[in-house]
Structure 1
Amino acid sequence: MAICAVRGGCPSDYVAISIAILSVILLLVKAGVPYLIHKIPRPKGSGFWLVAIQVIASFNLLLSIVMAFGYLRYKRKHWWSSCYIWAVWVEGPLGFGLLLSCRVAQAFQLYNLFVKRRLPPIRSFIFLPMVLLPWIVGSAILHVNKPLNPRCHMKTLWIIPVISFHALYIAALVGFTGAVQHIEFRFHELKDLWRGILVSACCIGVWIVAYTLNEIHEDKALVQIISRSVLLIMTSFLLLAFFSMSISQPLASLLSSTKKDKQDYNMMSRALGIPDSGLLVQEESIQSIDPNEPFDKLLMDRRFRQSFVEFADSCLAGEGVHFYEELLQLDKIPVEDHVRRIYMARHIIDTYITPGATMEVNISHRCRQDILSTPDLAHPDLFKNALNELIQLMKMNLANDYWSSTFFMKLKEEAMMKTADYDLEQSSWNYSHRLSSVHCTDDPFHQEHSPSKLSSSSRELELQ
C-alpha cells in the first residue's frame, strides 16, 4: 500500500480516473447534442466561446489533478511532467481559474442585462482576461518561490493562501448571482446557476478537505490514497454541476424539437410566448396592393409582406424584412414587461445589429453604435432609427424591382381571385327576400300569394 500511495496506480486511482473520463464524455455530449443532433445553429460571440472555453478548462482541471497527484505510475524525468506545469499552471490559470472566470463573466453579463438593463460595458473577451489575471500572477509567484516538493505537495505555509484564493472566486460568483436574484427570468438561468453554485460549493468543501489532508499527511499512505481519490471524484461532480445547463444559451434546450424547416429569426418569439401571427392588422385586406401607398403602410399588410420577403430572400437581401418582422414581435410585448423585452432586444442585436452577425442589416455606423451603447435595452424606441433607415433603403432599392417581378404579379392574381370570390359571396341570392318581393305582375301564373286573396278566390268558386 505504501508503494501504491507514493507511485500511484492503486485500484481506487483507476476508479477515480474512470469517473473523470465519464464526466468528460458527459460534458462533451451535453455541449454538443443541441448543435449536432437537433441542428440548432451555433451561436456567435460569447454565447459559444465561453461555453467552449469552460469545456476545455474542465478537461485541463481533471488532467492536471491526475498528473500532479500521482494517480498513474510514471517517472518525473521530462520537462512536461514538472509539478509546476501541472499543479500550478494547468490546474490554476488554465483549469479551475479559467472555469470560474468564465462563470463570473456569464454572471456579470446577467447582472448588466437584467439589473442595469444595458449591454455589458466590457466585452467578454476583454473581461475574461481581466478576471483571469490574478490567477496568472499567483501562478507566477508560486513558480518563482518553488514551494512544491518532488511529489508536487505544497508546504503548509502556502496551503491557506491557495485555498483562500480558490474560495475568493466562488464568493465573487455568488456576489454577482445574488445581485440578480430578484429578477423573474423567462428561462431558468438563475435557478440553474444557483443550483450549480450550491452543488459546486458542497463539492468544493469536500475538495478542500481532501486537498488539505493530501498536502498535510504526506507520510500516511491510507490518507494519501483516499484523499486523492475523493479529490478527483469531487472535481468530476463539480464540473457536472457547473454544466447542469448552460446559462448563456437557454434556447438550446427549449428549442431542441425545432423542425429543420423553421427559420432562426422566429425562434426567440416562440420561446418567449409571443403570438405567432406577427401582424399589426389582424384581418387580411381583400383590396389590391397599390404601389402608390406608403411603403411602411404596405409592410403592415400580411400578404404583401410575405410576398416581399420571398422576393427579398431570392435577391439575398431579406435581412431588412426579417428585422421588421422581429420588431413586430417586439412591439407585442408590453412596455412594462422589461425581462421579455430585454430577451427579445438582445436576440435582435445578436442577430441583426452586432458586426458580423448572421443576418447583419445595412444601417449607418452611428445608428448601430447608438443601439450597442444603449443605456436601456427595454426602451420602446430602441430600434426606431434603424427601422427608418432600413425602410428607406428597401423603398429605394428592393421595392423598385419588386413591382416588376413575378412575385408582385402572383400577388396581384391572388388578390384578384380573392376579390372575385368576395364579390360572388356578397351577390349570392337571399331566397327569403326574393319571395317576399314577388308581385302579381312578376308572377308567371298571375296569382297573388296573400292569404286574403286566396280566401276570396275560393268563395267565388263556391258561388259559381
Structure 2
Amino acid sequence: MASCAVEGGCPTDYIAISVATLFFILLLSRFILPFIVHKVPHTKGSGFWIPVIHIFASFNLLLSLVMSVNFLKFKRRHWWQSCYMWAAWVEGPLGFGLLLSCRIAQAFQLYYIFVRRRLPPIRSYIFLPLILLPWIAGAAFIHMKKPLNHRCHTGAPWIIPIVCLHALYVAILVGFLGAIRHIEFRFDELKDLLRGIVVSASSIGVWVFAYILNEIHDEISWLQVVSRFLLLVTASVLVLVFFSISSSEPLLSQISLKKREPKEFETMGQALGIPDSGLLLQREPTPVIDPNEPLDKLLLDKRFRQSFMAFADSCLAGESVHFYDEVHEHEKIPVDDHVRRIYMARHIIEKYIVAGASMEVNISHRTRQEILTTPDLAHPDLFNNAINELMQLLKMNLAKDYWSSMFFIKFREEASTRSTSHDLEHMTGWNFSPRLSSVHCFDDPFHHEQFSKCSSHNSHDPDP
C-alpha cells in the first residue's frame, strides 16, 4: 500500500482514471451531438468558442491531476513532466482558472444585457484573458519560488492562498448570479445557472477538502490514495456539471442535448411567443396591392412582405427585408415587456448589425454605432434609423424591379385565388380552421423557394 500510495498505480487510481475518461467522453458528446442530432448551425463568436475553450480547460484540469498527483508510475525526467508544468500552469490558469473564467464571462454577458440593458463593453475574447490574470500571476509566482516537492505537493503555508484563489473565482460567479436573480428569463438561463452552482459548489467543497488532505498529510499512505481518488472523481463531476450550465443561447443551447421547449422554433419571434409570428393563415383576407403606395406601407402586409423577401433573396440582397421583418416582429412586443424586447433586440443585433454577422445589413457607421452602444436595449426606437436608411436603399434598388418580376405575378395570382376562395366561403358558409398557408414563402429566412431568376441587383451600396 505504501508503494502504491507513493508511486501510484493502485486499483482505485485506475478506477478514478476510468471515471474521468468516461465523464470527458460525455462532455464531448454534449457538445457534438446537438450539431449532429438537432442540426444546430455553427455560430460565430462567444456562443461557440466559449464552449470550445471550456472543453479545452476541462481536459487540462483532468490531465493535470493525472500527471501531477502520482496516478501513473513514471519518473520525471523531461521538462514537460515537471510538477510546475502540470500543477502550477496546466491545472491552474489553463485548467480550473480557465474553467471558472468561461462561466464568469457568460454571467458577465447576462448581467450587462439584462440588468444594465446594454451590450457588454468588453468583448469575451478580451474579458477572458483579463479575468485569468490573477491565475497567471499566481502560477508565475509559484514557478519562481519553487515550493513543490518531488510529489508536486506544497507546504502548509501555501495552502491558504491557493484555496483563496479558487474561492475568489467561485465568489465572483456567485456575485454575478446574485445580480441577475431578479430577471425573469425566458429560456431557463437563471434556473440552469443556479442548479449548476449548487452541484458545482458541493463538488468544489469535496475537491478542496481532498486537495488539502493530499497536500498536508503527505506521510499517510492510505490518505494519499483516498484523497487523490476524490480529487479526480470530483473534478470529473465538476467539469461535466459546469458544461451543463446554460450558455445563454436561447433557441437551443449548443452545449446541451436538452431542448428548452416542447417544440422546435424556426424564428426568434416564435420562440418568444410573439402573436402570429411565423404563421400565414389561409383564410386571412388579402388586401389589394397598389404599386403606387409607399413601400414601407406595403411591407406592413405579411403576405406582400414574404413575396418581396423571396424576390430580394433571389437577387442575393435579402438581408434588408429579413431585417425589416424581424424588427416588425420586435415592435409587436409590449414596451413594458423589457425582457422579451431585449431577447429580440440582441438576436437582431447579433444577426444583422454586428460587423461580420451572418446577414449583416448595409447601414451607416453612425447608425450602427448608435445601436451597438445604446444605453437601453429595450428602447422602442432602437432600430428606427436603420430601418429608414434601408428603406431608402430598397426603394432605389429592388422595389422597381419587383413589380415586373415573376414573384409579383405569382403573388397577384395567389391573391386573386384567395380572394375567390374567401368569397365562396361566405356564400356557402364553409368554416375553414386556421392552418399554415400553402404559399411558398416561409418565415425561415434560409428556405425560400426560388420561382425565377431576377436581374443582378444588390442592396449593398456604400454607406450613406
1:260-316 CA distance string (max 9 Å, x none): xx8xxx422121122234699998554432111000011012221121111111111
Who is 2:31 aligned against? 31
Who is 1:380 aligned against? 380
- Greater CA deviation, 89-98 or 245-254? 245-254
- 1:30-429 counterparts in 2 under 5 A? 30-252=30-252, 253-254=258-259, 266-277=266-277, 284-419=284-419
SS at match of 2:267: helix
- Alpha-carbon distance, 1:234 to partner: 0.7
Amino acid at match of 2:114: F
For these two proteins, the number of residue pairs brought into alignment is 423
CA–CA distance in structure 2, aligned partners of residues 425 and 284 of structure 1: 12
CA–CA distance in structure 2, aligned partners of residues 255 and 234 of structure 1: 28
Amino acid at match of 1:309: M
SS at match of 1:397: helix
- Alpha-carbon distance, 1:413 to partner: 2.5
1:348-381 CA distance string (max 9 Å, x none): 1111111111111111111111100000000011
Gaps of 5+ in 1: 429-464
Contact 1:279–1:300 (Cα < 8 Å) also in 2? no
SS at match of 1:243: helix
Contact 1:307–1:411 (Cα < 8 Å) also in 2? yes
- Alpha-carbon distance, 1:182 to partner: 1.0
Contact 2:210–2:231 (Cα < 8 Å) also in 1? yes
SS at match of 2:32: helix
CA–CA distance in structure 1, aligned partners of residues 98 and 178 of structure 2: 21
CA–CA distance in structure 1, aligned partners of residues 97 and 219 of structure 2: 29
- Alpha-carbon distance, 1:71 to partner: 0.4
CA gap of 1:133–1:346, structure 2 versus 1, over 3 A, is same
Amino acid at match of 2:120: P
CA gap of 1:351–1:257, structure 2 versus 1, over 3 A, is farther
CA–CA distance in structure 1, aligned partners of residues 8 and 226 of structure 2: 12
Contact 1:319–1:359 (Cα < 8 Å) also in 2? yes
- Alpha-carbon distance, 1:18 to partner: 0.7
Contact 1:192–1:247 (Cα < 8 Å) also in 2? no
Amino acid at match of 1:319: E
Who is 2:441 aligned against? none
TM-score by length of 2: 0.87
Contact 2:110–2:248 (Cα < 8 Å) also in 1? no
Contact 1:341–1:377 (Cα < 8 Å) also in 2? yes
Contact 2:117–2:342 (Cα < 8 Å) also in 1? yes
Percentage of pairs with the same residue:
65
- Greater CA deviation, 85-94 or 417-426? 417-426
Contact 1:278–1:325 (Cα < 8 Å) also in 2? no
Amino acid at match of 1:345: A
SS at match of 1:251: coil
Amino acid at match of 1:10: C
Q: Cα RMSD (Å) of the superposition?
A: 2.2
CA–CA distance in structure 2, aligned partners of residues 273 and 426 of structure 1: 31
CA gap of 1:256–1:273, structure 2 versus 1, over 3 A, is closer
Amino acid at match of 1:126: I
CA gap of 1:417–1:138, structure 2 versus 1, over 3 A, is same
- Alpha-carbon distance, 1:424 to partner: 7.4
CA gap of 1:23–1:421, structure 2 versus 1, over 3 A, is closer
1:61-116 CA distance string (max 9 Å, x none): 00000000010111111111011110000001100000111111111111111111
Amino acid at match of 1:39: K
Larger fraction in helix: 1
CA–CA distance in structure 2, aligned partners of residues 310 and 157 of structure 1: 69
Who is 1:453 aligned against? none
CA–CA distance in structure 2, aligned partners of residues 208 and 422 of structure 1: 72
Gaps of 5+ in 2: 253-257, 429-464
CA gap of 1:194–1:286, structure 2 versus 1, over 3 A, is closer
CA gap of 1:328–1:280, structure 2 versus 1, over 3 A, is farther
Contact 1:211–1:231 (Cα < 8 Å) also in 2? yes
SS at match of 2:238: helix
CA–CA distance in structure 2, aligned partners of residues 170 and 421 of structure 1: 64
- Alpha-carbon distance, 1:60 to partner: 0.5
Contact 2:93–2:139 (Cα < 8 Å) also in 1? yes
- Alpha-carbon distance, 1:37 to partner: 1.4
CA gap of 1:114–1:171, structure 2 versus 1, over 3 A, is same
